[in-house]
Amino acid sequence: MNYLLAQGLRRHGLGKEAHLLELVERQGFREYYDPLTGKGLGGRGFSWTAALYLALKA
């Protein structure tokens, strides 16, 4: 879901609003992130988050 949202924001010139890379760098590969604070929540070491991070970083 985050990947789709980030792609949509970028396509509409709102790339600065797509902060997933920053969340991962601060909080690690978490299951999900609080939408208001950005705090990493749920399980740790989620591979889908790692895969998404690599795709967005490229």
Domain boundaries, the chain: 2-57
Which pTM value belongs to this model?
Answer: 0.64
Helical pair 47-57 and 20-27, crossing angle rounded to 10 deg: 130
Please list the pLDDT of the chain residue by residue as tens digits (58 residues): 767 777 787 788 877 666 778 888 899 998 888 878 889 999 888 888 888 888 877 7
pLDDT score at 38: 85
Cα separation, 39 vs 30, in Å, equals 9
pLDDT score at 16: 67
Collapsed DSSP state (helix, strand, coil) of residue 52: helix
Cα separation, 58 vs 41, in Å, equals 25
Q: In one letter, which amino acid is 24?
A: V
pLDDT score at 14: 77
**16 token code pair:** 């600065």
